[in-house]
């Protein structure tokens, strides 16, 4: 799904440069935001939450077969959504109904697991379950937007899904797993993760969801509102960047796989800093100057993309019975992906280089994701290399 989405967007950008007109049933930017936000990330969540989740909750392992109905509904649905983007809106609507149904099934399954657990510490799992519910509501709202041909509802639901669902789950998992991985790999680091940091991070993400929705409904926002955004985003950026250092960003550079995970988290603080700067510029110039989509891509491609890349590499190696480490291939692909993030951020900030840098960014992003799929995807479905069950 990740590779298909990447190749699709690369083709769209190339046709735009070549002057070839494609037929669209929804605005192209809205389609791009929807697919890159909600398509492959929930599939990644399904794999992660139903392997790590039982360990968090003290429950028996979940069989892959039990996840198949929800996953197949989502996969078939997204293919239909993509086809419908260029043919008939009804096809996209039907596909989105399938996607929303599939994710709702998986969300209910995870929520049931959380309720069945008797462990006293279920904070992270509960927040994840809540975010999964927000994701289901966002997907059903997107379905309604496609049925009613409402671009405003589509964009709003996508933004709520991005901040309240996707980014929230990433933040919860980062809070739980990054200190744990760091402490196990670098012995002199402690697993420092007070709960107030979790609530502060989630609150900041939800405020971004509110601000993003307000921009869609009440554009242009006043200078006073812009300064309110800055007062949230600037301290948030300082907190997150300090936290990245506190969790061992510098020490992690000695261990590639850990460095990949920390490098992804660092982009979250950078994205908030870029957001603060962009909104300050907008407040000072009446909206004439800003950093455009640079902060958004720093968060989505940088934090979400790089973190997903690091986590899937770690899990694929461990579950495949292989050494849990980043070899030269994984390390190279990771830096190609990081180059894609940097190119896209620069393209947004520097309009003169916008088109060539954007094309380079999608080329690097597609190369990294395709390379990862070809290298690691062939491991899936095979017996573990170490001979253990699985």
∠ Cα 57 59 64 (to 5°)? 110
Per-residue H/E/C for the chain:
CHHHHHHHHHHHHHHHHHCCCCCCCCCHHHHHHHHHHHCCHHHHHHHHHHHHHHHHHCCCCCCHHHHHHHHHHHHHHHHHHHHHHCCCHHHHHHHHHHHHHHHHHHHHHHHHHHHHCCCCCCHHHHHHHHHHHHHHHHHHHHHHHHHHCCHHHHHHHHHHHHHHHHHHHHHHHHHHHHHHHHHHHCCCCCCCCCHHHHHHHHHHHHHHHHHHHHHHHHCCCCHHHHHHHHHHHHHHHHHHHHHHHHCCHHHHCCCHHHHHHHHHHHHHHHHHHHHHHHHHHHHHHCCCCCCCCHHHHHHHHHHHHHHHHHHHHHHHHHHCCCCCCCCHHHHHHHHHHHHHHHHHHHHHHCHHHHHHHHHHHHHHHHHHHHHHHHHHHHHCCCCCCCCCCC
Question: Could you tell me the sign of the dihedral formed by the alpha carbons of 250, 253, 258, 262, in that order?
Answer: positive
Buried b (16+ CB within 10 A) or exposed e, 122-145: bebbebbbbbbbbbbbbbbbbbbb
pLDDT value for 356: 93
Please report, for the chain, the start and end positions of each structural domain, with discontinuous segments joined by +: 24-193, 220-378
Q: For residue 339, how many other CB atoms are within 10 A of its CB?
A: 17
What gap in Å lies between CA 314 and CA 182, rounded to an integer? 13
pLDDT value for 182: 61
pLDDT value for 188: 47
The residue ranges of the chain whose pLDDT is under 70 are: 182-192, 249-251
Q: Which of 23, 179, 155, 160 is nearest to 87 (CA)?
A: 23
- Enumerate residues 6+ apart whose C-beta is below 8 A from 30: 151, 154, 155, 158
Q: Which of 200, 173, 203, 212 is nearest to 303 (CA)?
A: 173
Predicted structure pTM score: 0.93
pLDDT value for 183: 57
What gap in Å lies between CA 43 and CA 312, rounded to an integer? 12
pLDDT value for 79: 95
Q: Which long-range contacts (CB under 8 A, 24 or more apart) does 83-88 make?
A: 84/25, 84/146, 85/24, 85/25, 85/26, 85/31, 86/22, 86/23, 86/24, 86/25, 87/23, 87/25, 88/25
What gap in Å lies between CA 46 and CA 42, rounded to an integer? 6
pLDDT value for 368: 97
Token pair recorded at residue 193: 């993760």
In the block, tokens 């790089």 appear at 306
pLDDT value for 190: 53
């Amino acid at each position: 799904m990740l590779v298909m989405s990447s190749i699709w967007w690369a083709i769209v950008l190339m046709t735009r440069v070549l002057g070839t007109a494609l037929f669209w049933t929804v605005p192209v930017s809205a389609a791009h935001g929807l697919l890159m936000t909600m398509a492959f990330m929930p599939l990644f969540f399904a794999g992660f939450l139903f392997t790590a989740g039982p360990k968090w909750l003290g429950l028996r392992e979940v069989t892959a077969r039990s996840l198949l109905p929800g996953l197949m509904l989502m996969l078939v649905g997204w293919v239909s959504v993509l086809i419908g983007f260029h043919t008939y809106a009804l096809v996209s609507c039907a596909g989105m109904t399938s996607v929303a149904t599939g994710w709702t099934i998986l969300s209910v399954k995870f929520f049931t697991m959380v309720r069945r657990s008797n462990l006293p510490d279920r904070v992270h799992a509960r927040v994840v379950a809540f975010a999964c519910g927000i994701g289901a509501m966002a997907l059903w709202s997107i379905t309604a937007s496609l049925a009613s041909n409402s671009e405003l509802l589509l964009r709003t639901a996508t933004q709520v899904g991005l901040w309240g669902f996707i980014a929230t789950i990433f933040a919860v998992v980062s809070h739980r797993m990054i200190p744990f991985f760091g402490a196990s790999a670098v012995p002199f680091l402690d697993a420092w993760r007070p709960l107030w940091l979790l609530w502060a991070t989630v609150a900041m993400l939800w405020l971004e969801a509110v601000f993003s929705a307000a921009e869609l409904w009440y554009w242009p926002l006043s200078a006073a509102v812009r300064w309110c955004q800055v007062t949230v985003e600037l301290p948030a950026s300082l907190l997150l960047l300090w936290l990245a250092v506190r969790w061992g960003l510098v020490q992690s550079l000695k261990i590639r796989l850990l460095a990949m995970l920390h490098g992804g988290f660092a982009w979250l603080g950078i994205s908030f800093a870029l957001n603060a700067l962009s909104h300050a510029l907008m407040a000072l110039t009446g909206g004439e100057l800003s950093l455009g989509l640079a902060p958004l891509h720093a968060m989505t491609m940088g934090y979400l993309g790089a973190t997903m890349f690091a986590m899937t590499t770690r899990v694929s190696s461990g579950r495949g019975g292989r050494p849990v480490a980043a070899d030269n291939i994984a390390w190279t692909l990771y830096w190609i992906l990081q180059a894609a993030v940097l190119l896209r951020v620069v393209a947004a900030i520097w309009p003169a280089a916008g088109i060539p840098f954007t094309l380079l960014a999608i080329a690097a992003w597609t190369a990294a994701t395709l390379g990862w799929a070809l290298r690691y995807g062939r491991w899936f479905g095979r017996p573990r290399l170490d001979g253990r069950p699985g």
